[in-house]
Structure 1
Amino acid sequence: MTEEAARTRASLFAALGAYGMWGLLPIFFRLLHHVAPVEIVAQRVLWSLILILSVLGARRSLPALLTVLRNPRLILPLGASGLLIGANWLTYVWAVNSGHVIASSLGYFLNPLVSVGLGVVVLKEKLRRWQIAAIVIAATGVAIMAASALTTLWISVALALSFALYGLVRKLTPVLPMLGLGAETMLLTPLALVYLLWLSHHGGLAFGSDGGTTALLIVSGAVTTVPLVLFAMAAQRLPMAMLGLMQYVAPTLQFLSGILLFGETLSRGQLMSFALIWLGLILFATDSLGAARRNRMATV
């Protein structure tokens, strides 16, 4: 095996590790079902910051992080992206611990298509014929979901929209992935600290209540950061088309967890909705692979 092939293989495993960890998050957060979702997210922010600063310190990138934080033109968009990812985390944790794993998985199935829609509206990107067909089919699935599961539709839409907007803001913000993640986390930290101090003062802090809960809350930082680091490693080497297809590993695992582990059921309308959304995703992924192959052949 050549060195290049070995690096590509390592990147493939890194991507599978990232998406696999994201897909199994419902199992982890169910272990913290007795902790308020806001505290889980606040603890997640603090312990993520410690891990991110350690990684940046090992890379000797802390001066670069300070440079980012001193740049007024970067602070506003990174603050916005931090609030978006914080809202995404809070919605996800609440949904999982409230028994709505399937609805949350739908949000991440929808996310790529919402991202495409934002690209068209905001970035004026052009869509190919099959991409338009894929979005129309998926939109039909969402409409059916709205009619058959109106009470949980907001979860799917909130997750898809918040993460798609997060991706758009990060795309438009000229900062390296790990530095951006570090800056976002630092900007969220004061909010997390204020909430945890308030919670502690009112006797509602779960951290420290018992060893198991405390350990899980500390580990939540790694659960947040490690997949992002693995994803950053994979994104350097793997083609975007391959990464785009592999991202469906996470919501598929979430979906299966909801049905097989947590006993959630699908109504006929939800089943039809998922079928249409998956059909749209298959069309979209097939078109993306074909376009990538044509572009590669054109450059040979």
Structure 2
Amino acid sequence: MGLTEGRKGVLAMVATATIWGLSSIYYKALAAVPPLEVLSHRTLWSAVFFGVVILIQRRGADVRAALADRRILALLAISSAMIAGNWFLFINAVQTGHALQSSLGYYIFPLLAVALGYLVLGERFTRLQSVSIGLAVAGVCLLTYGLGAAPWTALAIAGTFGVYGLVKNRLPLGPVISVFLETLILTPLALVWLWGMHTGAWSDIGGRTGGAFGRDFWTSAMLVFSGILTGGPLILFSYAARRIPYATLGLVQYLNPTLQFLVAVLVFGERFTVWHGVTFALIWTGLALYSSESLRQERLAVSRPGP
């Protein structure tokens, strides 16, 4: 018996979240390369990867139509800035021993997305969603008190991804076209930065010498493969999104920060305090309530008779 379309979708989403969750190991292996240089290569090779996919799919007309629309270009400019910021924060967090904060940021993101929907789109909270957001806020406040500083990296990761999702919601483009155009917009900046790092025109912000590409085969190959590592899961995500309910998609997606959390603590050996434990427990509880509410609303929508 073959797999149903729904099961294929779940497997695709599990594969997507697993790749995302374990990608911190990959970027940690590139710790000798400055984060802005890694980001530039990730941007450049992602644009190449998606460009090839679009050529194969013969979707050049869709790209030209999007580029001719000023409103779409304005939204793409914002989403490009947000995803570049998010990628940089993630890479930098992993390389500098703050992968635990990256995990926390992606846990906070779904609850922040609900809050942004309320503030920007005028959406309304249900009671359980309000409690979920309150638990996340309480967790962040406790962690700030316990460690003596706010988890700024986690909040910035959640914030950039939250705004990115909000803008993407307004873009009438599929994920392949939109991410191709975002990386295409960022490619000139990436090329200028790489040129400066390779020619010695400037050093990395942290003072490290760049220009890693071409020094040895494996580093160069890993930098090129970062484009496939970015694009491949996104195509799997798009495949899954067409085959399984949105609530199920969201639940499986929590595998990503969970794996990030386990890698940070068990593989990288990052310090996990009592304050971290309380904070994560509060946010996990909030996510459980949020997820149960999402499933309930989806069941109601399915059972409600159509017009």
Q: How many residues align?
A: 298
Q: Does 1:277 align with 2:283?
A: yes
Give distance in 1, aligned partners of 2:43 and 2:281: 36
Inter-CA distance 92–59: structure 2 relative to 1 (3 Å threshold): same
The residue aligned with 1:218 is: 224
Give distance in 2, aligned partners of 1:72 and 1:194: 25
The residue aligned with 2:160 is: 162
Give distance in 1, aligned partners of 2:300 and 2:7: 23
2:42–2:227 Cα contact (<8 Å) kept: yes
- Structure having the higher helix fraction is 1
TM-score relative to the length of structure 1: 0.96
The residue aligned with 1:140 is: 138
Give distance in 1, aligned partners of 2:262 and 2:100: 8
The residue aligned with 1:15 is: 13
Counterpart amino acid of 1:51? F
Specify every segment of 5 or more residues in structure 1 that has no aligned partner in the other structure, as ranges: none
Counterpart of 1:95 (choices 76, 93, 117) is 93
1:103–1:152 Cα contact (<8 Å) kept: no
In the TM superposition, 1:91-130 aligns within 5 A as: 91-130=89-128
In the TM superposition, 1:61-72 aligns within 5 A as: 61-72=59-70
Measured after TM superposition, the shift of residue 295 of structure 1 is 2.0
Alpha-carbon deviations, 1:249-286, whole Å to 9, x = none? Answer: 00000000011101112111111111101011111111
Give distance in 2, aligned partners of 1:73 and 1:118: 21
Measured after TM superposition, the shift of residue 58 of structure 1 is 1.1
User: In structure 2, the residue corresponding to 1:263 is in which secondary structure?
Assistant: coil
Alpha-carbon deviations, 1:39-96, whole Å to 9, x = none? Answer: 0000001111111011111111122112211221111110110110000000110000
2:39–2:87 Cα contact (<8 Å) kept: yes
In the TM superposition, 1:196-207 aligns within 5 A as: 196-202=194-200, 204-207=210-213
In the TM superposition, 1:24-43 aligns within 5 A as: 24-43=22-41
The residue aligned with 1:173 is: 171
Q: Does 1:75 align with 2:36?
A: no
The residue aligned with 2:247 is: 241
Q: Identical aligned pairs, as a percentage?
A: 38
Give distance in 2, aligned partners of 1:27 and 1:155: 18
Give distance in 1, aligned partners of 2:176 and 2:239: 11
Give distance in 2, aligned partners of 1:25 and 1:76: 30
Counterpart amino acid of 1:272? V
Measured after TM superposition, the shift of residue 130 of structure 1 is 0.9
Measured after TM superposition, the shift of residue 161 of structure 1 is 0.2
Give distance in 2, aligned partners of 1:220 and 1:148: 36
Specify every segment of 5 or more residues in structure 2 that has no aligned partner in the other structure, as ranges: 201-208
User: In structure 1, the residue corresponding to 2:33 is in which secondary structure?
Assistant: coil
Cα RMSD (Å)? 1.4
2:140–2:150 Cα contact (<8 Å) kept: no
